[in-house]
Amino acid sequence: MGVVNVTPDSFSDGGVNFEPADAAGSARRMLDEGAAIVDVGGESTRPGSEGVSLDEELRRVVPVLEALRTLPVSIDTAKSEVAARALELGAVLVNDVTALRGDPELAGVVADHGAYLCLMHMRGEPRTMQNDPRYDDVVGDVARFLDERLAFAVAQGIPEESICLDPGIGFGKTVEHNFELLRRLDELTALGRPILVGISRKSSLGKIMGDPGAKTGTAAASIGAAVLAYERGASIFRVHDVREHVEALSAAVAVVAP
């Protein structure tokens, strides 16, 4: 899954794809490089960020979705109106970082369109989520949360087969929490749904290199983490550097599951 942030302020690529033509070009390049789908988002969820209005989010993503109409697209949004518009324009997956807790109408939109859905774990909200996150047992807490949200989504009429789950790397978690989630990923694959991992360029990867104030990590560090997440059962990788991930994961597949 290639990341296309149509935002001025995303943590890793803020501004690069803010113009619709640039965003559509990046999306096409990622698909050429081997991405199975591109994730288009108009609202940054980086730590500390405020939300954007419905009008502004639509203004950002609609021209990009129009340009990508026939291509495999995921919409990264928590707003039902944005999801509905995206699905009408051909998107096939809704990536909701609130796991259907943000907008009560979103589950119905996903169900009515027969769309795929990603449910992600987040502790708190982006504005405050990195203020001293604590868990009794981060993996147990995340697994329980995802299991409960999966049951909720199914009760809302979304088929279980259409849903993938995501531990939400960096969403209300310390560096140690993030790596523990990847280390014990088997406890999440045990929930029986495909696991999506989004660690690409995230700050934990910079922090383990000795910079406590790091805001991003490198592509090389991202790939190292993705390969080991693959070995532990992850099957969808939300990444910025598509070609490099496809190459590295192809080698990993050749080793693990030829």
- The binding site for ligand HH2 (CB under 6 A) comprises 3, 5, 7, 10-12, 41, 44-46, 76, 95, 97, 118, 120, 166, 168-169, 196, 198, 238
Nearest distance in Å: CB 199, ligand HH2: 7
Cβ-based nearer residue to ligand HH2, 225 or 255: 225
- Taking the least distance from each CB to ligand HH2, the nearer of 38 and 70 is 38
The dihedral built from the CA positions of residue 251, 249, 224 and 139, taken in this order, carries a sign that is negative
Return contacts of 26-33, CB within 8 angstroms, 24+ apart: 26/2, 27/2, 27/64, 27/68, 27/71, 27/73, 28/68, 28/71, 29/242, 30/2, 30/4, 30/242, 31/2, 31/71, 31/72, 33/2, 33/242, 33/243, 33/246
Nearest to 174 by CA among 209, 132, 141, 212: 132
Residue 157 structure tokens = 């009429």
Q: What's the CA gap between 70 and 82, in Å, rounded?
A: 18
Does the active-site annotation cover 184?
no
**Set 202, 215, 232, 243: catalytic member:** 202
Q: Is 238 in the active site?
A: yes
The two tokens of residue 238 are 């939300």
Residue 39 or 246 having the CB closest to ligand HH2: 39
Residue nearest to ligand HH2 (CB): 198
CB of 252 to ligand HH2, least distance (A): 20
Answer whether 90's CB lies under 8 Å from 73's CB.
Answer: yes
Q: How many CB atoms lie within 10 A of CB 45?
A: 24
- Percent composition of the chain: helix, strand, coil (DSSP 3-state, to 5): 45, 10, 45
70 vs 76, beta carbon nearer ligand HH2 = 76
User: At its nearest, how many Å lie between ligand HH2 and the CB of residue 209?
Assistant: 19
Q: How far is the CB of 221 from ligand HH2 (least distance, A)?
A: 15
- Residue 255 beta carbon to ligand HH2: minimum distance, rounded to whole angstroms: 25
- CA 50 to CA 57: how far, in whole Å? 13
Q: In this complex, which beta carbon is closest to ligand HH2, that of residue 5 or of residue 255?
A: 5
Give the residue numbers annotated as catalytic, written as ranges. Answer: 202, 238
